[in-house]
Each structure stands twice: as structure tokens, then as C-alpha cells.
Amino acid sequence: MTSKKPDFSKEPSIHTDFTNNMTYGEYLGLDRLLSSQQRLSGHHDEMLFIVIHQVSELWMKLIIHEMKGAIRSIQQDALQPAFKMLARVSKIQTQIIQAWDVLSTLTPSEYMEFRDKLGQASGFQSYQYRQIEFMLGYKTDHILTIYQKDAELHDILEKAYRAPSIYDAAIEALFRAGFPINRDLIKRDYSVTYTGDPTVEAAWMDVYNDVKTHWDLYQLAEKLIDIEDWLQQWRFRHMKTVERIIGFKMGTGGSSGVNYLKKVLDHRFFPELWDLRTKL
């Protein structure tokens, strides 16, 4: 059976003349986007490696965009718009996690065919991932030295490093709602990684013990838990994919590879929100 060609005459409203109009490809800048996959080896599977990482970086760009908006909304006590943005972040995270399933089709033998072409380049150096970590509150100053080569990029990360995280914004929202939060936490030195405070724990306990009264703050807490949960699942899939492809070799960027990735699984961004689950 032969398939019929589409008859555009039956759809007269479809635009076919773009002599003076912008096309889909032009709007998305597809010429630049699709010409950015430049293999450094002749190996077929290097294309997979490049595309997976570029797609993940695009999703991270959107996460940063949504997180910035959510932080601003929380700071303005406009929690409903923040919920929408944070829900979107969680959905994006599921897409990035699934990308590891595609990358895991790369076998050790195939990767070894072009791994040396990466030099010292590594996902460890992803500045967008570091920006996301900073926005979630994990502040590590030694990371900034990686980006000294690019002054503009270093400045972006320096600002994110010193800016309040989304959890700082949430703690300040608790304070504005009347909870007796330790005042040292309000407008604190945001470049220091937050590790926990009894007054914050007590406030979240009150929220969870009286959900009807504090429904918006309760929703905010659960949205944050969603994001951390998905991030840890991303980290776990990252670690297992690396182990599957290169075992316990050192990473191209000089890290201990799988051993390093296992260590970061122990970090918690929102400690009180996890601890209260045991204490409720």
C-alpha cells in the first residue's frame, strides 16, 4: 500500500511561503543549535555522548530560570506562582534522569574509543549544575576556581554563591509568617552552606502539625522535598551510569569518579524537612 502525499490544498490556512516571514527553524536558532555537535573523534557513539550532555544543559538552563522565578515569588510571599514553577522544575528533573537511560546504552568499549579526546573536560565542570547547587543552598567556594578562565562566567557563579538559596527564602517566609525563627538566619551570610537550626525545625513541625492553618507553607515544604528527592535520584543514576561505563576509574576532570559521586549522595539540602518525618 502506498501512502498518500499530504494535500495542502485541503488546508488553505497552512503557511508555505516564508520569503518574508520567520520560520520555525529561525525562531529556535536551529542552524546554531544543530551545528554544535562537533565530534573530536571519528567514533559513531561520540554523537550520543555530546547530545545527551547538551540536552541536559538545556534542561538545566530552564531549571535555573524557574528557580530564579520561584525564589523571587517566595521572597514576595507570592507562593502560588512559586508552586507552579517548582512543580515544573520537578518535571524537568524527571527528563534529565531519563537521559541517563539513553547514555547507559554506551558500553565501556565504545566509550574508550573516544574518551581520550575529552582531555580534562568533565561534567564535574558544568557551571549550570553548580549554579543549581548554589540555588539549593550547597555552597562550595573551591568550585569557583574552576571558572577563573572566564571572568563573565565566574561573576555569574560568584553572585549565585553569595545570593540566598531557595531554602533561605523559605526560612525567611517562615519568619514573616510569625514563626520565632533565629534572627541570625535572616539576611545571614548566604555563602555559608546552611546546616540546620532548632528554630527552623520547630517552625516546620508546627506547619506539619497544623496543615490546615499553614497550608501554603506546607505546600512549599513538599515542593522543596520533591526537588531534593528528584535531584538525589539524578545523582544516583549519574553514579550508576558512570560505574556502568568506566567502573572506578578516575574522572576526566580529575575527580575520584564513582567514589566522589557516592559521597555527594549523603548531602541534604533541606535537613529539617527530612528530619521531621521521623519526629512527627
Q: Which residue ranges make up the annotated binding site?
A: 49-53, 111, 115, 238, 252
Could you list the residues known to form a binding site for substrate, using ranges: 49-53, 111, 115, 252
Q: How many CB atoms lie within 10 A of CB 81?
A: 14
Q: How far apart are CA 89 and CA 236, in angstroms?
A: 18
With a CB cutoff of 8 Å and minimum separation 6, the contacts of 275 are 196, 201
163 dihedral zone (left: phi>0; alpha: psi -120 to 50; beta): beta
The grid coordinates of residue 176 equal: 514573616
Calpha distance 199→172 (Å, rounded): 12
The closest of 152, 215, 163 to 189, measured between CA atoms, is 163
**CB distance 185 to 203 below 8 Å:** no
Binding site for heme, residues?
238
